[in-house]
Amino acid sequence: MQVDTVCRLCSSCCPITAYVEQGRLVDAQRKTLLPPDKAWPCPKLAAAADIVYSPARLQHPLIRQADNSFQEASWDEALDLVASRLLECRQEHGAEAVAWLRGMAADWGAPWDYANRFMNAFGSPNCIGNGSVCHVAREIAHNYTYGAMTIPQIQKSDCIVIWGKNDQHTNPPAYDAIVQARNRGARLIVVDPVRTGLAAMADIWLQIKPAHDGPLAMAMIDQMIRCGWYNAEFVAQWTTGFEDLRQATAHYRAEDIAEQLSLQAADIQAATQLYAQSETACIIDGNGLDMQLEVFDATRAVAMLRALSGNLDRAGGDLIPQPVAARNIQLKECLPESSYPVTRDYPLFNSFHHNWGLHAQSCVIDAILEGRPYSVKSLLVQSGNPAVTMTDSNRVNQALSQLDFLVVIDLFMTRTAQYADVILPASSCFEKTQLNRAYLRNSLVVLQNQVIEPLHNSWPDWKIIFELGRRLGLKEEFPWQCVEEAIDYQLEPSGVTVAALREQPEGIRSASVKHQKYTEIGFATPSGKVEFASERLKQAGFSAVPFADGRLDNPISFAGQGDDYPLIGISGARSSSFTHSQFHKIPMLLQQETCAIIDIHPDDAGPLGISSGDQIEITSPRGKITLAGRTSQNIKPGTIRIAWGWGETEPTANLNSLTDDHRRNPITGTPGNRSFMCRIRKLGN
């Protein structure tokens, strides 16, 4: 039997066909426009059955005993215990002392809405996602510029700019599209401090100094304006603040600043000319801009290039999405007016989108450890592994151990779950039907279909939340007996149903794709135009224009701490074989990548007597880790690249033991765990 569904082993949400024999998942293939032998393979999907049937899967609910061991329990026992402890906590400390912390795994679609609905109905404003270190921090910057996060139209583009993204490892459908575009002659510009596969195939690769993307974008804007390489008609009619932007960019002449970005002015100029003078051009921005202290203004400056070049919302440019008309089911209106979330200090980030909710995740740790702005005593962690993936692991681990009550909903016994009082075993993505946000974003709805029955005694996330809600007296809020009912309710305004989606596995388009929609409805900003200068930001005490003060220095964690930490540590890159902290115990995936590696340029390795294979200790002001060294020309001298995600299986290689959560972006609360100062030494010396 074969089942059309969506893979959720990572956030790419690829449409796939799953093959089932006698109720068992045996294989899965990604659907692609390319011939199968030409499509980029995904090792995680190839290992899907090994992941699903891994002997390490959690099989039953577990409850911690007085002697600290875990005892298997029935769902009734476990959920009754969770419900009674949450009610006790609410009684004693108020509902807001209960928080829900979400990782990326169970999706940002309906499962995110269910968690928000649950918390809002319970009375706590604290349902918090991890978007401050992921793409939501970029999304707000797009939003403040032209009202929505754009989608690059790779297939029809003459020039593709890849800015801090590595689709070859993180998004195979996009990678296929880039390769296809390249084959038909599209030009490629890559901005990345690392020589990735995409950088190697680029026409122009700007090997930027980590975390200096904002000034680079400003230099490109400066040149476009000075050379007249911008769409003057669009700018005159559809933008505000052009003159303010022009003045700000005067600080960022390519000739003056190139050296500080580790670039050549001529390369910046060539990239700008290619981008600006291509008939159509799109920009794919990525996680290289996230987790940076300057994420907001850097992304804003990049976003402004799209508007200046006239590529906004046109074929081959960057599409303003047409969201599917879905019901907002989060029940935010249930919260008392006086309540405020632990993320209170980031009001713009909290409110920029009608259903993104809260994402300044570091605030949860502040609340647990420091009672700031008030104490969180009980925490539910769903589909995330904060002990490894959140910034400054020592601080996070201290917080997890200090909680009165911790519930973890996961497939595996993670480092986070080890702190839990109750562990609830979730079903994998192949064991449940789900509505993903990726398919609510832009007109085409594709359903993630259940492929096999839930394994062991696991439950899908939706069922765990609905059942827990009902135990807390929220029967009216969770009336649905199956997920199909819930999805149909949410999709009702669009007219799309689960039954229809199952009939049309390629998806249902809720609206036909339109370009230049702004000519009819404007942009979703207060002025209805693209805002080079934002009055909203000014009113909130921030600079209306990005980088108006001409700043260039110190956007890296621990910068300015002297010679003790001379190297810039780059977090990443992601590997095709793993999703963050996941799958490092799956033998088939481990075969391809056996251990955590740090890349060091030979110029840095030589004087320290380092050769490939040596054990290298990396130290930052927060901690130390040890990884296997590899000399590499893929990075510049002065930078090292540290493998991501190994902290789950190798705690001594946990990258976030090095990162800093003190300094954060003032708008998004984003710490700088993508780039930070550190030092290295060869062990055994």
**Distance (Å, rounded) from C-alpha 356 to C-alpha 337?**
19
User: Beta strand 15-21 with 2-6: parallel, antiparallel or unpaired?
Assistant: antiparallel
Out of ligand MGD, ligand SF4, Mo ion, none, what residue 13 binds, judged by CB under 5 to 8 A for its kind, is: ligand SF4
Q: Which does 163 bind (CB under 5 to 8 A by kind): ligand MGD, ligand SF4, Mo ion, none?
A: ligand MGD
Comparing CB distances to ligand MGD, the nearer of 105 and 181 is 105
Burial 575-612 (b: 16+ CB within 10 A, else e): bbbbbbbbbbebeebbeebeebbbbbbeebbeeeebee
Enumerate binding residues for ligand MGD (CB under 6 A).
Answer: 10-12, 103-106, 130, 133-135, 163-167, 169-170, 191-194, 196, 208, 210-211, 213, 286-288, 291, 382-386, 389, 409-412, 414, 426, 429, 461, 570-574, 576, 578-582, 644, 655-656, 659, 673-675
Whichever of 438 and 655 has its CB closer to ligand MGD, that residue is 655
Q: Taking the complex as a whole, how short is the minimal distance between the CB of residue 440 and ligand MGD, in angstroms?
A: 17
SS3 label, residue 342? coil
Give which of Mo ion, ligand SF4, ligand MGD, none residue 166 binds (C-beta under 5 to 8 Å, depending on kind).
Answer: ligand MGD
Minimum CB distance to ligand MGD smaller for 210 or for 629: 210
Closest to Mo ion by CB, 101 vs 304, is: 101
Closest CA to 432 of 406, 407, 465, 408: 465
What are the phi and psi torsion angles at 176 (to 5°)? -55, -45
Q: Answer yes or no whether residue 434 interacts with ligand SF4 by CB under 6 A.
A: no
Chosen from ligand SF4, ligand MGD, Mo ion, none, partner binding at 656 (C-beta under 5 to 8 Å by type): ligand MGD
Shortest Å distance, C-beta 216 to ligand MGD: 8
Q: Could you tell me which of 488, 585, 525 has the C-alpha nearest to residue 141?
A: 525
What is the crossing angle of helices 295-308 and 213-226, to 10°? 20
* Cβ distance to Mo ion smaller for residue 134 or 680: 134
**Shortest distance (Å) from residue 335 CB to ligand MGD:** 24
- Closest by Cα among 151, 154, 153 to 182: 154
Shortest gap between Cβ of 514 and ligand MGD (angstroms)? 27
Compute CA distances 382 → 148, 426, 503, 655, whole Å: 27, 9, 31, 22
Q: Which amino acid is at 256?
A: D
Nearest distance from C-beta of residue 224 to ligand MGD, angstroms:
19
Of 394 and 516, CB closest to ligand MGD: 394
Residues 644 and 124: their CA atoms lie apart, in Å, by 33
Choice between 238 and 583, CB closer to ligand MGD: 583
373 upstream amide cis, omega within 30 of 0: yes
Q: Which two tokens stand for residue 632?
A: 């590499």
CA distance 281 to 303: 13
* Shorter beta-carbon distance to ligand SF4: residue 29 or 497: 29
Pairing of strands 444-445, 615-620: unpaired
Comparison of 12 and 207: residue with beta carbon closer to ligand SF4: 12
- Interface with ligand SF4 includes 645 (CB under 6 A)? no
The answer to whether 462 and 19 are in contact (CB under 8 A) is no
User: If contact means CB under 5 to 8 A according to the sort of partner, which of ligand MGD, Mo ion, ligand SF4, none does residue 664 touch?
Assistant: none
When CB distances are held under 5 to 8 angstroms depending on the partner's kind, the choice from ligand MGD, ligand SF4, Mo ion, none that residue 153 binds is none
Q: Minimum CB separation from ligand MGD for residue 3, in Å? A: 17
Q: Which of ligand MGD, ligand SF4, Mo ion, none lies near 14, with the C-beta cut-off 5 to 8 A by kind?
A: ligand SF4
Stretch that binds ligand SF4, among 6-14, 203-211, 228-236, 373-381 (CB under 6 A): 6-14
Region of 16 on the Ramachandran plot (φ > 0 left; ψ -120 to 50 alpha; else beta): beta
For position 30 contacting ligand SF4 by CB under 6 A, the verdict is yes
Binding partner selected for residue 45 from ligand MGD, ligand SF4, Mo ion, none, CB under the kind-specific 5 to 8 Å limit: ligand SF4
What is the spatial distance between Cα 467 and Cα 475, in angstroms, rounded to a whole number? 9
Cα–Cα distance, 507 to 166 (Å, whole number): 26
Counted residue by residue, the chain has a size of: 685
Q: Minimum distance between the CB of residue 59 and ligand SF4, rounded to whole angstroms? A: 23
Amino acid identity at 103: G
Helices (H), 239-264: 242-249, 254-257
For residue 281, the minimal CB distance to ligand SF4 (Å) is 26
Burial (Cβ within 10 Å: 0-12, 13-18, ≥19) of residue 221: buried
Beta carbons of 303 and 311 less than 8 angstroms apart: no
CA-based torsion, 344, 350, 356, 359: positive or negative: negative
Site string for Mo ion, 126-145 (x = CB under 5 A): --------x-----------
Q: Least Å distance between CB 598 and ligand MGD?
A: 13
Considering only residues 121 to 180 of the shown chain, the ones binding ligand SF4 according to CB under 6 A are 172
Q: Give backbone dihedrals phi and psi of 81, rounded to 5 degrees, phi first.
A: -65, -45
Span 38-67, contacts to ligand SF4 by CB under 6 A: 42, 44-45
According to the binding rule CB under 6 A, does residue 14 interact with ligand SF4?
yes
9 is a contact residue toward ligand SF4 (CB under 6 A) = yes
Indicate whether 425 belongs to the interface with ligand SF4 (CB under 6 A): no
For Mo ion, how many residues bind (rule: CB under 5 A)?
A: 1
Using CA atoms, how far residue 451 sits from 18, 224, 389, 586, in Å, is 7, 51, 29, 21
State the binding partner of 581 from Mo ion, ligand MGD, ligand SF4, none, CB within 5 to 8 A by kind: ligand MGD
Task: Look at the alpha carbons of 482, 483, 486, 488 in this order and tell me if their dihedral is positive or negative.
Answer: negative
Euclidean distance between CA atoms 114 and 102, whole angstroms: 12
Tell me if 10 contacts ligand SF4 by CB under 6 A: yes
- Contacts with ligand SF4 by CB under 6 A lie at 7, 9-10, 12-14, 30, 42, 44-45, 172
- Contacts with Mo ion by CB under 5 A lie at 134
